[in-house]
A and B are shown apart, each in its own frame.
Chain A
Amino acid sequence: MSPEPEKEMKGKRDKPEKGSPVDRAGGESRRQEVDAAPAGEIRIGAFICNCGTNIAGFLDAKDVSDYARMLPNVVFSRENLFSCSEAGVTDIKNAIKEHKLNRVVVAACTPRTHEPLFRAACEEAGLNKFLFEFVNIREHCSWVHKGERDIATQKAKDLVRMGVARATRLEPKEEITTDVKRTALVIGGGISGLTCALSLARRGFMVTLVEREKELGGLLRYVNVLYPSGVSAGTFVASRIKEVKKSSRIEVLTSSTVQNVKGYIGDYVVSVSSKDRKSRDVNCGVIVVATGANQLVPEGHFGYDGKKVVSQLQLEGMLRQGKLKSKRIVMILCAGARIRERVYCSKICCMTSIKNATLIKKTVPGASVHLLYRDLQCYGVANEEAYLGAKAMGVRFVNYSLENPPVVENGRVRVSSPLSGREMSIETDLVVLASPLVPREGAEVVSRMLKVPLDENKFFLEAHVKLRPMDFATDGIYVCGTAHWPASVSESISQALGAASHASIPLTRGYVKVEPIVSELVDEEACRGCGMCAAVCPYGAVEIVETDKGPKARMIEVACKGCGVCAASCYKRAIGISHYTDEQLDAQVRAYLKGDE
């Protein structure tokens, strides 16, 4: 069907005659006179994005575009200032129609954020969106070869040549449509899980809420009051629990843990084992992870003993039960946070400390509170006001450095403040350590079962920090609250509502479309039904079935993520990956090895 790309490539490079179509400026088509692409003719349009200066600042996009025009099957090429802008997208759509393009290659930033846009452009111009190929010349060229313009340009040419070779062999595909069971499973019964379950139930969906502990409520059960409202945390969470228990659409399973997860978006089967109930399978369309976090017990930091040196959560307990007897209180922030072993900032401990310091000043007559900090996080109007209020009330803020941390001795805290340049010795009856939120021990187990990732700190990692903050890369699984990252109560609630909103998209529609990048049995004859593929598949997407030709592998398309492990393990080469076929990848590799000379 397509001409030998290698041969044609060489020929064209060798003799670009003057006045020949390839020599024309402006990226005009060489075959404008052609009304419709003859059957089987491949007509590729290549668009090279400057991305302002993000790409063009580090490589010669014009040169790459000129080069692309000489590649086999490329009938049109152009460099664009911003391919993703409305003008850029319109340009692609017009070119498809004008030049009868049946393949589109865009060399630009990253498919992660922009592939859907360009695919949609193809679709709107009447081209199957799987006839689109993305070449990543921002991350693979301009970002990694800054200051090496020639090398970056050459690599961009190599990548474009490879992209064109693959595009030549792309085939139209249809997305796989699958039904969605209109029920949800929420893992975790803290404020995030409760809020998310309630929101989903109010939208009319049945929800199963799984909580490991005997009681719902999570961390808030141990908190005194919430800032800035001053509302009792216990009363607040109790009202949510009451609503959840009252809802006819929410089934609560306490003292229960998730044991196993099978299936895919729209049809998950989750085994839940309970202490006081028989284990059972819950069938659901979507899953929300709201497993929360724990406060680090600051063992080994600033002489923590749980009696004279306690954590903020212990102080919350004392305040709640009216058991705070001390009058001279020193709080030390960043206890176990922003240090070598735990580099991150837990974000909420500054405000927790300011909240408690203020409360003590208000309620304990004659109390003194020193707050020793490295830096303060008081973002937002309410938090800034609380900080200023604490200062006005006489809470003493003393800065300290990581290199020279405070020393807790019997009845004293010695601290040297880089800001004032002074050494201080503060008498105290109670030292309170603000320690960070840390991931739950069970997070890794949940992560493995759901096949969703954790970040380097073992918090759950979202699909994209900005574009998909509440989604996992795996379809139909969402995350909210402190399971994802330390968050305040109001942030956790916002996230829970966000996750419920996103989860309700497939639930409302009742179907989803899944990428057709899946494994397929390309050579049924060769398959001997050995079962190796089924054994290595991490998603349970391959099964061995008995056919009239003997046992054969069968793919469960919607469960398949297209990872290719099955294809790699098949010694008979009976399995391939759709949209990443051996032929397509082979063409890419050959195009690379061939070079452009």
Chain B
Amino acid sequence: MPEVVVIGGGIAGIQASLDLADMGVKVYLVERKPSIGGVMAQLDKTFPTNDCSI
């Protein structure tokens, strides 16, 4: 199985990891902080759908 390292666990890193995993690629998602989510996890709602950011 091909393997990929994604550096950064914010929304971009998470989405890239998910898409790669969906394609059957083994992903190592590396995040400096204790939890993934990045800045987006600190937001309340996102425009324009008012979806909860986290």
Contacts and interface: CB of A to CB of B under 8 A. Distances in A.
Interface stretch (A30-38, A359-367, A498-506): A498-506
Interface string A76-100: 0000001011000000000000000
B52 A466 contact: no
Interface in A58-89: 82, 84-85
Contact of B23 (A54, A82, A84, A508): A508
A509 B24 contact: yes
A465 interface: yes
Interface string B37-49: 0000000111011
A465 B49 contact: yes
A502 B54 contact: no
A109 B48 contact: no
B49 A54 contact: no
- Interface bracket on B: 10 to 19
Contacts of A508: 23-24
Given A465-B48, A466-B46, A84 B22 contact: no
A52 B52 CA distance: 10
Nearest to B35: A86
Contact of B54 (A84, A143, A466): A84
A229 interface: no
Given A508-B24, A509-B24, A109 B52 contact: yes
A508 B24 CA distance: 8
Contacts of B19: 501-502, 505
A51 interface: yes
Nearest to B15: A467
B37 to A, nearest CB: 10
Interface in B1-46: 19, 22-24, 44-46
Nearest to A139: B50
A82 B22 contact: no
Contact of A466 (B22, B23, B44, B49): B49
A504 B46 CA distance: 28
A420 interface: no
Given A143-B50, A464-B49, 17 more contacts: A51-B52, A52-B44, A54-B52, A82-B54, A84-B54, A109-B51, A113-B51, A465-B48, A466-B49, A501-B19, A502-B19, A504-B23, A505-B22, A505-B23, A508-B24, A509-B23, A509-B24
25 contacts: A51-B52, A54-B45, A54-B52, A82-B54, A84-B52, A84-B54, A85-B54, A109-B51, A110-B51, A113-B51, A113-B52, A143-B50, A464-B49, A466-B46, A466-B49, A502-B19, A504-B23, A505-B19, A505-B22, A505-B23, A508-B23, A508-B24, A509-B22, A509-B23, A509-B24
